[in-house]
Amino acid sequence: MWVFGYGSLVWKVDFKYECKLVGYLKGYLRRFYQHSIDHRGVPEKPGRVVTLIPSNDPDSSVWGVAYKINEEDIEQVTTHLDYREKNGYSKKTVTFHPKDPSWQPFELTLYVAMKDNESYAGAASIGDLAKQVLSCSGPSGSNKEYVYNLAEAMRQLAPGVEDEHLFSLEAAVRKLDPDMRKNS
């Protein structure tokens, strides 16, 4: 079994895996369209985390990490991820394209928040998203930390790949973040 990480699973892997591959999915866009009431926010003040939305451009890509789960760990990892991604995410099978040219594309499992889930927040301006992110925190930490960690991880994993939505939001949050202004 393979699982694709495109949000916190990119840098916060809390399950056993056999190996990992950097690569991408085609036909999707990464967007901060999902509310988080259990990790980066609380029910009274939900944070924003990423989901994938279908793109009108079939060549659009979302970079991330595929994790191969050992046969003996599949049940435990699946139970763990089902719980971790319980706030509106469902499983889908998609084709993964490894960065390493010695690998062929293959099918894997993706946790994605569909528009019909109760925590789907939908589109908002980058400015509004930044204000929401900056003001939210939950059991897994601050929402801004999620944005900063994801942006940094994507720069390291896929140098030169421009994720306009992610990097624009990161810049807007940094501009508003009093901790960033103190350090500059």
Give Cα 29 distance to the centre of its chain. Answer: 11
Q: Are strands 47-54 and 61-68 parallel, antiparallel or unpaired?
A: unpaired
Catalytic pick among 85, 162, 164, 170: 85
| Alpha carbon distance 132, 42 (integer Å) | 12
What's 102-141 look like in SS3? CCCCEEEEEEEECCCCCCECCCCCHHHHHHHHHHCEECCE
Q: In terms of Cα–Cα distance, which of 125, 134, 129 is closest to 181?
A: 134
Q: Cα 87–38–93 angle (5° rounding)?
A: 30
Whether residue 85 lies in the annotated active site: yes
Known catalytic residues?
85
